[in-house]
């Protein structure tokens, strides 16, 4: 098992314990892997540059997500989930803002 994977698993176990003990509230967390980010962008029919601009991140950040150097978290991960659900509608809605 790779060190990073082990650390993520250990962190998840610690978090689950804290939730069970009532020390922490359960929170919603959106996890999207590298293939998912690329697939979402391609389903939206956008280049890396256009997609990065659409979701408000740098091209380098998007490339890091797509190449599994980093993972999207927080608001960008949620936005990616929305775009994944209905790319055409999401892109249209974002352009209206």
Whole-structure pTM value: 0.65
Question: Do residues 40 and 72 lie in contact, with contact meaning Cβ atoms separated by under 8 Å?
Answer: no
Question: Do residues 76 and 55 lie in contact, with contact meaning Cβ atoms separated by under 8 Å?
Answer: yes
What's the domain range around 11? 1-27
Q: Could you read off the pLDDT of 3-51 as tens digits, one per residue?
A: 776 677 677 778 777 777 888 776 666 667 657 899 999 999 999 999 9
Kindly state whether residues 59 and 86 are assigned to the same domain: yes
Kindly state whether residues 35 and 75 are assigned to the same domain: yes
Kindly state whether residues 69 and 23 are assigned to the same domain: no
Closest CA to 91 of 23, 40, 16: 40
Question: Using CA atoms in the order 34, 36, 38, 42, what is the torsion angle rounded to 10 degrees?
Answer: 180
Residue 1 confidence (pLDDT) above 60: no
Question: Residue 63 contacts by C-beta under 8 Å, 6 or more apart in sequence?
Answer: 48
Number of domains in the chain: 2
Q: Could you read off the pLDDT of 63-89 as tens digits, one per residue?
A: 999 998 998 988 888 889 889 888 888
């Amino acid at each position: 098992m790779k060190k990073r994977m082990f650390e993520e698993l250990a962190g998840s176990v610690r978090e689950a314990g804290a939730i069970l003990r009532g020390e922490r509230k359960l929170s919603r967390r959106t996890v999207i892997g590298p293939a998912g980010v690329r697939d979402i962008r391609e389903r939206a029919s956008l280049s890396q540059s256009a997609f990065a601009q659409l979701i408000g991140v740098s091209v380098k950040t998007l490339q890091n997500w797509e190449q599994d150097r980093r993972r999207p978290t927080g608001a960008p991960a949620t936005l990616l989930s929305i775009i994944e659900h209905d790319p055409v509608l999401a892109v249209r809605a974002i352009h209206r803002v």
